[in-house]
Amino acid sequence: MKIIILAAGEGKRMWPVETGKCLIPFLGKPLLFHNLKKIKETINGEYVIVASPDSRDGVEDVAKELGLSYKIVIQKKPAGMADALLCAKDLVDGEILVINAEDILEPSVFQNKFEGDVALTGLKVKKYFDGGYLKVEGERVKGIVEKPGEGNEPSDMIKLVVDYYKDGKKLIEYIEKVSDPERSRRDDVYEVALSQMISDGMDVKFAKYDGVWIPLKYPWHILDITAHFLGSIDQKIYPGKVIIEDGVKVFEGALIKGPCYIGKNCIVGNYSMVREANLEEGCVTGFSSDITRSYVGVNSWFHTNYIGDSILEGDFGAGSGAVLANLRLDNRSIRSGEIDTGRSKLGLIAGKGVRVGANVSTMPGVKIGAGSLVGPGVVLKKDLKENKKIVIKKEEAYEIQDHSALPTAYDQFRDKLK
């Protein structure tokens, strides 16, 4: 069997995070590493990995580290799933399994007994997800509806990207058959091809899955994936399950409360607390910082800060006293732009290289683009695009007057001690 891994998506909804979704590191390894490792341990096959020009090197590093039998093809532009498969069409033959690179799934999904000409994997959901839904009758799939809108779902069964084809060439033929210049600008060509297969009477089976599924569609899903990986840690260090990598320094008075991951060469400073968080390589949590339920990318540093339920892509720097707030006082769920995240707690989402000055406060769900700077004392309530600086105009906010010092209660207290 050939295993087709779709790893070229650009992640338009992931702003301000710019790292390719499958290459975001968790527990010191790219997400793709964790997912391919599970697949390798579950099924045998040759891998065809569809990567973007930017992700090729990282994808190849993962494939080599895992010792896969693989070939990489490049999708030059993010033109959807059908285009990704067409980029690999010369390698798509015989039995194939098409898998999304960044979805978190349990190994049992790859152990399904795939039958028929095609087998599509579905998962029963309790609330609406903006994706594809299956029309199922018994063991057969009768139709696919892409993003029907809440209230218009044909069933409660969403389609996962774990798709089996007895003949990969037949899939390519159908994709080419339904492709045209107008439709190629849309992102549902793959689903149209599948619908045509069903209409033509091909035997399209239903493969049920009822395990863990965590998609990576929006940046706050990084927190869900972080919690999933932290929950898998089996190395126990009181008080909880903790991985502490080589070169880590933990100073007096610090508390690491698991589950936690502390990457290589991190420093956990005096009286700092790290709890239920993922700190990638080279992070420094300076004196008296609290990092809680957060994802912190490589080479970030802090000093006397509160970091709550935040996603910091990497190379993040915080001045003393900066607070990344994570909770609305009215207890409403937190919105990010126009989107209701459904989360009661969500802090800052920051791209690479962001700096926030001393005594900055960022409000729940705010996003800051890569390379931007928030000046000291700013209360940031709205998103800030990449490579921008926001500061307080001090000359308009302050007035300087003459002042004569008078004895204070502290002076009188000292006199009594003499």
Q: What is the pLDDT along the chain (418 residues), one digit of tens a residue?
A: 999 999 998 778 999 999 999 999 999 999 999 999 999 999 999 999 999 999 999 999 999 999 999 999 999 988 889 999 999 999 999 999 999 999 999 999 998 888 899 999 999 999 888 888 999 988 899 999 888 888 888 899 999 999 999 999 999 999 999 887 655 556 789 999 999 999 999 999 999 999 999 999 999 999 999 999 999 998 777 678 999 999 999 999 999 999 999 999 999 999 999 999 999 999 999 999 999 999 999 999 999 999 999 999 999 999 999 999 999 988 899 998 889 999 999 999 999 999 999 999 999 999 999 999 999 999 999 999 999 999 988 656 666 677 676 666 666 656 666 5
H helices present in 7-80, as ranges: 31-42, 56-65
184 occurs within a structural domain? yes
Residue 417 in any domain: the answer is no
Could you tell me if residue 406 is inside a domain?
Answer: no
CATH number, domain containing residue 247: 2.160.10.10
* Euclidean distance between CA atoms 223 and 229, whole angstroms: 10
* CA separation for the pair 405, 156 (Å, rounded): 72
Q: Are 144 and 191 in contact (CB under 8 A)?
A: yes
Q: 229 with 199, same domain?
A: no
Is the domain of 146 the same as that of 236? no
For residues 53, 57, 58, 59, the Cα torsion angle rounded to the nearest 10 degrees is: 80
Q: 203 and 280 share a domain?
A: no
Is there a single domain that holds both residue 51 and residue 187? yes
Kind and range of the H or E run holding 82: helix 81-87
- In this structure, are 95 and 233 located in the same domain? no
Q: Which of 214, 231, 259 is the last residue of a domain?
A: 214
Domain end: 172, 187, 214, which one? 214
Report yes or no on 404 lying in a domain: no
Omega into 259 within 30° of 0, i.e. cis?
A: yes
Tell me: cis bond preceding 30? Omega within 30 of 0 counts. no
The strand pair at 255-257 and 213-214 is best described as unpaired
The tokens describing 276, both together, are: 């239920």
Same domain, 182 and 97: yes
Domain boundary among 214, 248, 264: 214
Cβ atoms of residues 224 and 242 within 8 Å: no
Pair 247, 323 in one domain? yes
In a domain, 414, yes or no: no
Same domain for 245 and 186: no
Q: Are strands 306-308 and 323-324 parallel, antiparallel or unpaired?
A: parallel
Q: What is the dihedral of CA 138, 144, 148, 152, to 10 degrees?
A: -30
38, 97: one domain? yes
Question: 375 and 233, same structural domain?
Answer: yes
Domain count within the chain: 2
The pTM of this model reads 0.91
**Structural domain harbouring 389:** 221-397
178 in the same domain as 41: yes
Structural domain includes residue 284:
yes
Whole-number Å distance between alpha carbons of 323 and 43 = 46
Burial 46-58 (b: 16+ CB within 10 A, else e): ebbbbbbeebbeb
Residue 186 neighbours by CB distance under 10 Å:
13
109 three-state secondary structure: helix
**416 assigned to some structural domain:** no
Are 132 and 228 in the same domain? no
Q: How many CA atoms lie within 13 A of 136 on its CB side?
A: 20
Cα distance between residue 392 and residue 9, in whole Å = 39
- Coil, helix or strand for 155? coil
Of 380, 290, 304, 293, give the one whose Cα is nearest residue 345.
293
Q: What is the CATH number of the domain that holds 85?
A: 3.90.550.10
